[in-house]
Amino acid sequence: MDHSIIGRNLWKVYRSKVKQGFLRSKKKRVEALKGVDIEVRSGEIYGLLGPNGAGKTTLIKILTTLLYPDRGEAYVNGYNVLKEPERVRATIGVMLMGERALYWKLTGRENLEFFSALYHVPSQIARERIKRISELLGLEEYIDRLVETYSSGQKITLSFAKALVNDAPLLFLDEPTVALDPRRALEIRNVIRMLNKDEGKTILLTTHIMQEADMLCDRVAIIDRGMIVAVGSPDELKSRVRKEGVLEVEVSKIKPSATEKLRGLEGVRSMGVKIRRDDSRETSMLRIICDSPRQIIGGVITVLVEEGAEINYLKPSEPTLEDVFIMYTGRALEEADKNEAG
Amino acid sequence: MKPGKTVQVFKAVFKLNWHLTTRYKGWFLFFVLFPIIFSAVPILLGRAVAGDPSKAAQSFQQYTGTSNYVVYMVVGSSLWVFAISSMWGFGMWLREQQMTGTLEQLLLTPVNPFLILLGEEIFNLLISTLQLSMALLFGSWIFGALGDLLSLRLAYSIGLLVLGIIPMYGLSMALGGLIIRIKEAGSIIGILQMLMGFLMGIFYPLTLLPGWVRILSILFPLTIVNNDVRAILLSTGFIFSLPADVLLLVLYMFIYPLIGFRVYEKVMISLKKGEGVGGY
């Protein structure tokens, strides 16, 4: 089998009611997926990179049979998600986002034993597997404590362990390192890489951490507002920006009018803004995708000075996945997250 | 699915629920004590109003056909709480799984969800029955009627209860479906348990209800069980006759589980077509 996942023209619209006063409500329609095509090759780590609300979790839920698409079809490990959901579920391991999904009144071990039984893993094999997973993820210290006593990071690690109990060839990991401290996140990334390289597991993971996608994934799909806007290996994607150029500018006291003027400058293709705050001040990091940094540098300085911004530094930069996202969506991932939250 | 795998699933669900039940001990105790305390109100009120217990018994017999008001009340309130416990237990179980995200996790496993639900319902039934037995025994003992309860035709009553349980669980599955659709367990269960109490005639005979309400009340299987257990134990009247009432329960035994499964299935499909089963 060449592909572990194939999805064609997947559409999903959420309809809900928004309260407007005590009795009145207005219908709201959110297009979560708009004709998504996805192909994940067997044996690869495939990343879905996008801001909150981009449609990543919806896509995972459709592929794992938790949601029906409004249109389109999908096959997971060769099985149709709508017609053969039980076969799909028997061949996948899933970690959904966050600390939920566990029985807090059970111990970590009892949780893993329970889910092993639901995957029909014989009890002897389950015991051995849980021991191995526990060693792999460093659960030994707390696996026999009630989950309600766990820290947030420990719960997320246990959720990850739960996705491994049936030793499935295909893993769906929804934001596997979110809310983990940097050291723990790195350990989990190493385990993900090991599962892929040493055990040959195909992995579909969602993330909104650029470095994670860059570090882990063989291929990355950039997803924004329900559409996959670019797919390729991290290097391929970055090389698309490399043909252009990136100018990195750190400024203080920048006004919205200045960013508007910068976007309109000749030679500027796209621009993303990330805001950094520390105790004393707020700075903005601008990443400007352009035809040539040298050609626009004068115009950029003029606009910023005229608009009263203070330039801290300004330099041409190597493209990152963040720049790829900016190039395709016209905004930084952080801006997109804020817009969705707003 | 092979029988061995089915047993494995049941065993896992039982073990899960055993852990959860024993780690929330307060709820177990609540369902044992509640019917006893609840039945104490009319028993003691009756004694207070009528003066000495024999007068209370006399006036009670006029309305109900039995002077044994203690067993009458304890049976009524215990069966009512049994109904609440089984319906509440299942509905709340589903809602809790939905809120904590574990329902999605159960649906991600290859096991048919109905098998998990069946395991949960059987466990719930065993616990509710244990609570019912304890409430009946302690309640009768506290009010000095344990001898009456044990010496009477208890076996027949248990048989009748068994007939009523299966349709009851069909209804509870439908209720569970509605709860995860509406995403509000407390208010639905609160309203329903009061309505059930009223329709079952916990503290009074069904003959006191208006005609159309009485017809409505016998659509609920435990109304028949409650009325007929009293009729067997205390020689009060059956709803129609014992064979007719049993026939009605047997009919419900086939209809209500089908309705329950259908409602639950429809809700799950509509949730999957919509926003999904997770979330608050």
What is the DSSP track for A147-212?
A: GGGS-HHHHHHHHHHHTTTT--SEEEEESTTTT--HHHHHHHHHHHHHHHHTT--EEEEEES-HHH
B100–A104 CB contact, under 8 Å: yes
Which of A29, A58, A103 should we substitute to test contact with B (largest number of B Cβ atoms within 10 Å)? Answer: A103
Instruction: Report CB contact under 8 Å: B277, A66.
Output: yes
More confident of the two residues A329 and B75: A329
The model's pTM is 0.82
Among B13, B20, B109, most A C-beta atoms within 10 A, so best to mutate, is: B109
Residue A82 has a pLDDT of 96
**How is residue A309 annotated by DSSP?**
P
Indicate the SS3 state at residue A25: strand
Can you say whether the dihedral through the CA atoms of B275, B278, B279, B280 is positive or negative?
positive
Distance CA B2, CA B11 (A): 14
Which of helix, strand or coil describes residue B241?
coil
pLDDT > 50? residue A241? yes
Nearest residue, CB atoms, B20 vs list A86, A101, A105: A105
Domain boundaries, chain B: 3-272
Mean pLDDT of chain B: 80
Which of A102, A118, A162 is nearest residue B12 as measured by Cβ atoms?
Answer: A118
B207 three-state secondary structure: helix
Q: CA-to-CA distance for A163 and A62, rounded, in angstroms?
A: 17
- The pLDDT of residue A341 is 46
How far is it, in rounded angstroms, from Cα B139 to Cα B147? Answer: 12
Q: Do A68 and B272 touch (CB under 8 A)?
A: yes
Cα–Cα distance between B158 and A136 in angstroms, integer?
Answer: 53
Whole-number CA gyration radius for chain B: 20
A with B: how many residue pairs have Cβ under 8 Å apart? 90
Q: What tens digit of pLDDT does each residue of A88-146 get?
A: 999 999 998 766 789 988 999 999 999 999 999 999 999 999 999 999 999 999 999 99
- Residue B90's pLDDT is 75
Rounded CA separation B178/B175 (Å): 5
User: In this complex, do A67 and B272 lie within 8 Å of one another by their Cβ atoms?
Assistant: yes
Average pLDDT, chain A: 90
Q: What is the DSSP string of B21-41?
A: HHHSHHHHHHHHHHHHHHHHH
- Is A66 in Cβ contact with B19 (below 8 Å)? no
Whether the complex's predicted ipTM is more than 0.90 is answered with no
Whether residue A314 contacts residue A247, with contact meaning beta carbons closer than 8 Å, is answered with: yes
Q: In what order do the strands lie in the sheet with A45-49?
A: A92-95, A170-174, A202-207, A45-49, A219-224, A227-232
Across the interface, do A117 and B275 touch by the CB < 8 Å criterion? no
Burial classification of residue A279, based on how many CB atoms lie within 10 Å of its CB (0-12 exposed, 13-18 middle, 19 or more buried)? exposed
Instruction: Answer whether B20's CB lies under 8 Å from A111's CB.
Output: no
pLDDT digits (tens, 9 = 90+) for A32-76: 999 999 999 999 999 999 888 899 999 999 999 999 999 999 999
How far apart are the C-alpha atoms of A307 and A267, rounded to whole Å? Answer: 20
**A32: its two tokens:** 């979560």
